[in-house]
């Protein structure tokens, strides 16, 4: 990946230079707008290629040091990116840089771009130009990884997700509807076991059967069913409203599962 990005970053830099009127020259000159590196990546000297690779490697090492991982999240995007690569020329004369178009790539963690440089050089010691340059390079690397189907996963993502789920679960469990449903399910399970239990033959009299099972049936019929009917009829919108996240005005997925029982 470092080699691929190094070539892309060189072409990206060369494109910006050419757009500003720079051309290839044996010597660097601001007055004449000439630069010796305005040529295909394959024609660069080893130390020039190493410069691009090291810049990429520094950012990747910093991410790994902070515990970030790179997951292949989109294999189709990776295959598409590999097939979309086109040569930018083989000579200085036909050099036409073709960097990857990353304009459609967006970053979820903007702060990560700035953070990438902190482990390398104290941020306060950099000039504004160096900060802009480092931000741009880090931004390009993250977008380049995304373009090739990689997902940069923060070590805090899982922790934050677990913490969020715990908070949401705690919030749901404190709701009246959740507690009511939980009690109703417990009662139904207990009543079902009692009504289905097999009694000894000497207890299978009309009076015993009516006294032992009739009480559970009557309580279920006279108390539980009317309560459930009245409650769900009054709050049907709460349970029918669709929601992918936990909200106070709608039932959670767990509550809907309990109702379905």
The mean of the pLDDT values for the chain is 73
**Least confident span in 9-18, 93-102, 176-185, 204-213:** 204-213
Residue 92 near residue 39, CB atoms below 8 Å: yes
Q: How many domains does the chain have?
A: 2
**Same-domain pairing of 121 and 213:** no
**Same-domain pairing of 10 and 139:** yes
Domain boundary residue among 133, 153, 173? Answer: 153
Domain boundary residue among 90, 122, 153? Answer: 153
**Least confident span in 55-69, 114-128, 139-153:** 114-128
Q: What is the pTM of this model?
A: 0.50
**Same-domain pairing of 202 and 112:** no
**Same-domain pairing of 66 and 94:** yes
**Same-domain pairing of 138 and 205:** no
**Same-domain pairing of 24 and 136:** yes
Q: What local confidence, expressed as pLDDT, does residue 187 receive?
A: 72
Q: Residues 15-26: what's their mean pLDDT?
A: 92
What is the pLDDT confidence band of residue 197, given thresholds at 50, 70 and 90? Answer: low
**Same-domain pairing of 84 and 24:** yes
CATH number of the domain that residue 118 is part of: 1.10.490.160
| Percentages of the chain per state (helix, strand, coil), in multiples of 5 | 65, 5, 30
> What is the crossing angle of helices 128-147 and 2-19, to 10°?
120
**Same-domain pairing of 146 and 171:** no
**Same-domain pairing of 142 and 215:** no
**Same-domain pairing of 12 and 85:** yes
Residue labelled with tokens 């953070």: 115
Q: Residues 91-99: what's their mean pLDDT?
A: 89
Cα 157 from chain centre: 8
Q: What local confidence, expressed as pLDDT, does residue 2 receive?
A: 83
Can you read off the two tokens belonging to residue 74?
């989109």
**Same-domain pairing of 7 and 102:** yes
Q: Residues 43-52: what's their mean pLDDT?
A: 90
Q: What local confidence, expressed as pLDDT, does residue 260 receive?
A: 65
Q: Ranked by mean pLDDT, which of 102-116, 155-169, 173-187, 232-246 comes out on top?
A: 173-187
CB count within 10 Å of CB 201 equals 7
Residue 113 near residue 138, CB atoms below 8 Å: yes
HEC letters along 59-70: HHHHHHHCCCEE
> What is the crossing angle of helices 46-65 and 128-147, to 10°?
80
**Same-domain pairing of 145 and 187:** no
Task: List the domain range (segments joined by +) for residue 29.
Answer: 2-153
Q: What local confidence, expressed as pLDDT, does residue 173 receive?
A: 58
């Amino acid at each position: 990946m470092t080699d691929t990005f190094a070539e892309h970053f060189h072409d990206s830099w060369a494109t910006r230079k050419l757009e500003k009127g720079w051309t290839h020259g044996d010597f660097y000159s601001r007055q004449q707008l000439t630069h010796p590196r305005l040529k295909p990546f394959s024609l660069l000297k080893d130390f020039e290629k190493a410069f691009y690779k090291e810049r990429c490697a520094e950012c990747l090492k910093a991410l790994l040091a902070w515990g970030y991982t790179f997951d292949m999240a989109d294999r189709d995007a990776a295959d598409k990116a590999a097939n979309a690569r086109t040569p930018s020329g083989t000579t200085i004369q036909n050099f036409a840089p073709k960097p990857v178009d990353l304009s459609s790539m967006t970053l979820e963690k903007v702060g990560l771009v700035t953070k990438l440089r902190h482990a390398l050089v104290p941020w306060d010691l950099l000039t504004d130009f160096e900060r802009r340059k480092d931000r741009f390079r880090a931004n390009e690397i993250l977008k380049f990884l995304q373009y090739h189907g990689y997902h940069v996963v923060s070590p805090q993502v899982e922790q934050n997700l677990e913490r969020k789920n715990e908070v949401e679960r705690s919030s749901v469990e404190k709701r009246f509807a959740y507690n009511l449903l939980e009690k109703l399910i417990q009662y139904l399970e207990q009543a079902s076991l009692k009504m289905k239990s097999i009694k000894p033959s000497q207890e299978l009299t009309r009076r015993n059967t009516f006294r032992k099972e009739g009480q559970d049936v009557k309580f279920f019929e006279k108390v539980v069913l009317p309560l459930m009917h009245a409650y769900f009829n009054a709050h049907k919108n709460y349970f029918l409203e669709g929601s992918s996240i936990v909200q106070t005005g709608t039932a959670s997925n767990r509550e809907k599962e309990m109702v379905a029982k």
